[in-house]
Structure 1
Amino acid sequence: MAGTYCIGLMSGTSTDAVDGVLADLSAPSIQLLAQASLPLPPALRDELLALNTPGADELHRAAMAANALADCQAAVVQSLLAQAGLSARQVQVLGTHGQTVRHAPENGYTVQINAPARLAERCGIATVADFRSRDVAAGGQGAPLVPAFHAAYFGTDARRAVLNLGGIANLTVLESPVRGFDTGPANMLMDAWAQAHLGEPFDLDGRWAARGHCQPALLASLLADPWFARVPPKSTGRDLFSLAWLHSHLDRPGPQGARCAPADVQATLLELSVRSIADALQRHAAGVQEILACGGGALNPVLMARLRDALAPVRLRTTADEGVPVQAVEALAFAWLAHAWLQGQATGLPEVTGARHATVAGCLYPA
């Protein structure tokens, strides 16, 4: 019997690559058939990061960046099809998140750079995109998007949670109804600091952070930001947690930024990720006994070791233990979300986003 073949594409807050999966969503279980990742060209990555802040000729630059991103996405799709031995005609739907450059649900909007019509044309596959806007229109945060998928794949059990360690960390509590919320930065600030001081896109295996020493005064200053004290539903991104935000703390009069070596700042940023996650778990999900980690941060042994210490006695594993590679979870979620759109299934959940009602997330661009 023919499968229900769906593709999901994700380029997250870390803005490092397009990750893609091709999966068979036929009942009774999801099967991952192919996985591919394509690093973003440096010029495109720089432009996407630059578009997070106001600048000249933004409309033209954003449109050109969207086209370039779609071309990268199309290359990933072709790789997935080749791996799985399938043709585009056999794929039911493709889901693409795009690249968030503004996220301001309090002002009634969120912006993801994307060119889904171009992608549908290039690939010959019906494409679902713009997953956040309907929830925001219903008064929600539009984020996080993946808790409905987490519950569908990993099941509902209030003792378990899924922790996505992407640019931003978000936590899904697998109770019924499922809950989810952002906890703060995971890799985003560490990546930006490494790029600024090492000229590298990220701190490989957390080695640089491991050479530094956490600075208590700086950590306390960072954790004092009012965002961390907010109760869910809540979401965030580069609009808040940017290098400018970090420098606003480093440059304040007082001990927090005085003579901080760059490696010490990196160690402090890693501890910020750990502490903000641990604090959010204690405040908002105290019944959780086991966490499944995913995202790029799950491959950082220093970050994972610190999380195990800080979260104890909560058990920390990864989604790989449940059959999903840590860097495939979000892309798989967008394959599932696109298929849910075809079924008319509501995946924008009020318990997660704070919207007035559940919504069907996304818009379809036919093949």
Structure 2
Amino acid sequence: MTDFKPIRALGLMSGTSMDGVDGAVLTTDGVEIHDFGESAFRPFTPSEAETLRAAQGLWPGEKPDVLQAALKVVQAAHTDLVLEFDTIELVGFHGQTLNHDPDNGRTFQLGDGADLAQRSGIPTVWDFRSNDMVMGGQGAPLAPFFHFACAKWAGLTAPAAFLNLGGVGNVTVVDPSKPSPETTGALLAFDTGPANAPLNDLMTARLGRDFDEDGALAAAGVVDETVLTRVFQRAFFAQKPPKSLDRHDFHDVLDLVDRLGDADAAATLTALPAACVAANQSHLTLPPQNWYVCGGGACNPVMMQELSNRLKGRVSSIEELGLDGDMLEAQAFAYLAVRSYRGLPLSAPATTGCKAPAIGGRYSQP
């Protein structure tokens, strides 16, 4: 491989929680991480978040007025954030996921990278998922190649799991002894099941809160194991990876805790992500010695304890490696933007199910 000068790239990520946009700088040649830079968060206003939620579940061409209003929010918020940073050479723009249907080869991230490049004056890589799906992949998860680079950066030598508990849970098992992320056996990645989405939905519906801060309500309740069993007996958990989910695929989980009081319902839905990961452990050909947790779940001590109780191996926050769990996904899209720019693969059969290592992303000049 020819020498390639590291690029100072800015990754942007707006997740399914729709609280705002994360931006994080990474200096990388698309293979190794050279430096972690500054980061920032641009929150959505309540009206912006409402506009985005109204577009959830839509596909291109449906309700054009709703989609156009949401697109304005996405473009404005991301532009605001990009302009907070200096000396950026490349932007990785994920956009806002509105729908994901891997069984039918469809995914929809709302966002116009060409427009963002014009607004910011910075070359922009976007539309990261489409080509993977053309290649027969699920289009998700896309962070595993970055997790491989993080494991190398942290000096790991034994198999380790990067577990992200956002709205949906996903895991990457990394074998850092392999030379590259597309090497056979280097990675195994898949969505594990619902994570914080059902719990957050419960808190909003019953108590008008966004989430269970510090797991306080869950700590006062008792887990109903019969509910957990009913969830992880579903076909998804027996399905071999790679596999991916949409935030709403387990929308009926809330119905299973209807009869429970607030504390017991919260305790059960806090245990649910750990039970789902545990139900998937049989798929792990490389049992990890350590589980490094990021995403909102890492901030919930009750959820972390449930993981420790139910998983084989040691569970800790990803911060233990010197990484920033809050910005890991944004950093991932900075990394993937540079890989895309270089024409390097972003996914592999063991991460998304694509037929062969797949390049991806569209490049737009200002």
TM-score w.r.t. the length of structure 2 is 0.88
Aligned to 2:253: 246
TM alignment of 1:262-277, pairs within 5 A: 262-277=262-277
Shift of 1:158: 5.4
| Kept in 2: contact 1:22–1:33 (CA 8 A) | yes
Residue 353 (structure 1) aligned with residue 352 (structure 2): yes
Q: Is the 8 A contact 2:228 2:275 kept in 1?
A: no
Task: Give the drift of 1:318.
Answer: 2.3
The code of the aligned residue for 1:185 comes to P
Cα offset, 1:23, TM superposition: 2.0
SS of 1:302's equivalent in the other structure is helix
**Residue 111 of structure 1: how far off its partner (Å):** 0.6
How do 1:152-167 residues align onto structure 2 when only pairs under 5 Å count?
152-155=149-152, 157=157, 159-167=159-167
Query: Which residue of 2 is the match for residue 197 of structure 1?
Result: 206
- Structure 1: how far apart are the matches of 2:339 and 2:63? 33
> Are the aligned partners of 2:101 and 2:107 in contact in 1 as well (CA < 8 Å)?
yes
Give the total of aligned pairs.
Answer: 348
Offset of residue 47 of structure 1: 3.2
Q: What per-residue deviation string (whole Å, max 9, x for no partner) do you get for residues 167-209 of structure 1? A: 1111111024211111011111111211212222222112122
Pick aligned residue for 1:30 from 30, 34, 37 = 34
Provide the C-alpha distance between the structure 2 equivalents of 1:239 and 1:263, rounded to a whole number of angstroms.
Answer: 23
Distance in 2, matches of 1:229 and 1:333, equals: 29
* Greater shift in the superposed pair: 265-274 or 326-335: 265-274
Among 216, 230, 234, the residue aligned to 1:207: 216
Query: Cα–Cα, structure 1 residues 285 and 268, in superposed 2: closer, same or farther, change >3 Å?
Result: farther
Pick one of 143, 147, 153 that aligns with 1:146. Answer: 143
Distance 1:229 1:334, change over 3 A: same
Distance (whole Å) between structure 1 residues aligned to residue 72 and residue 79 of structure 2: 11
Question: What's 2:10 paired with?
Answer: 7
Residue 115 (str. 1) matches residue 123 (str. 2): no
Residue 354 of structure 2 aligns to a residue whose secondary structure is coil
Task: Indicate conservation of the 8 Å contact 1:120/1:366, yes or no.
Answer: yes
Contact 2:241 2:283 in 1 (8 A): no
Q: Quick check: 2:6–2:34 contact (8 Å CA) kept in 1?
A: no
Q: Secondary structure at the match of 1:98?
A: strand
Give runs of aligned pairs for residues 1-367 of structure 1, distance below 5 A: 4-25=7-28, 29-53=33-57, 58-79=63-84, 81=85, 86=86, 90-155=87-152, 157=157, 159-175=159-175, 176-242=185-251, 245-249=252-256, 257=258, 259-285=259-285, 287-312=287-312, 314-367=313-366
The Cα shift of 1:282 comes to 4.0
Q: Where does residue 180 of structure 2 map in the other structure?
A: none
SS of the residue aligned with 1:91?
coil
**2:297 aligned counterpart, secondary structure:** helix
Flag the 1:58–1:207 CA change in 2: closer, same or farther, 3 A: farther
Shift of 1:286: 5.5
Paired residue type of 1:31 = D
- 1:66 & 1:189 partners in 2: Cα distance? 26
Q: Deviations over 1:61-99 (max 9, x none)?
A: 1222122122111222223x1xxxx3xxx3221011112
Shift of 1:28: 6.0
Aligned to 2:182: none
> Cα offset for 1:223?
2.1
**Distance (Å, rounded) in 2 between the aligned partners of 1:145 and 1:28:** 17
CA RMSD of aligned residues (A): 2.2
How far did residue 58 of structure 1 move?
Answer: 2.2
The question of whether the paired residues in 2 share the 8 Å contact of 1:195 and 1:201 is answered with yes
Structure 2 letter corresponding to 1:321: E
List runs of 5+ in structure 1 lacking aligned partners: 251-256
User: 316-325 or 335-344: which moved more?
Assistant: 316-325
Structure-1 separation of matches of 2:105 and 2:133 = 6
Residue deviations 1:203-242 (CA, integer Å, cap 9, x gap): 2112122222222232222222222221101000224122
The 1-side partners of 2:171 and 2:118 are apart by 35
Deviations 1:307-336 (A, max 9, x none): 122224x11222222221110111100000
TM-score (norm 1): 0.88
- Could you tell which deviates more after superposition, 216-225 or 25-34? 25-34
Cα gap change, 1:171 to 1:8, in 2 (>3 Å) = same
One-letter code aligned to 2:352: T
SS in 1 for 2:118: helix
- More divergent stretch after superposition (302-311 vs 102-111): 302-311
The whole-number CA distance in structure 1 between the counterparts of 2:309 and 2:254 is: 28
Contact kept? 2:159, 2:286, Cα under 8 Å: no
The answer to whether the 8 A contact 1:9-1:73 is kept is yes
CA distance in 2, matches of 1:131, 1:3: 20
SS at match of 1:182: strand
Find the aligned partners of 1:286 and 1:183 in 2 and give their Cα distance. 16
Conserved in 1, the CA contact under 8 Å of 2:22 and 2:327?
Answer: yes
Q: Which amino acid aligns with 2:69?
A: M
Percent of residue pairs identical? 35
